[in-house]
Structure 1
């Protein structure tokens, strides 16, 4: 895997902020969870909240 993914997999917690609209963050959060990493998501607008399944 890439250096960045290897580094990410060493993390215990990840904070997701602004990103593309759509299901990317939801799928990414699920991948993180599947790898034992706690995921927190901050929603800045209605689009973020609509597509996100991980809420703070």
Structure 2
């Protein structure tokens, strides 16, 4: 995955810092949301099962 990003970065020399930053922010936000969702689901199942 990193190799693809590096290759695409080498191909186009113009700075795409904002687009890359936005992509990374959305990716991190998605990962955090997914983890929080799993934790919330686990908590609901755990407390509902008692």
Same fold per superposition (TM over 0.5): no
Length-normalised TM-score, structure 2: 0.29
Higher relative contact order (CA closer than 8 Å, sequence separation 6+): 1
The structure with the larger Rg is 2
- In the superposition, the TM-score normalised over structure 1's length comes to 0.27
Question: Where is the strand percentage greater, Structure 1 or Structure 2?
Answer: 1
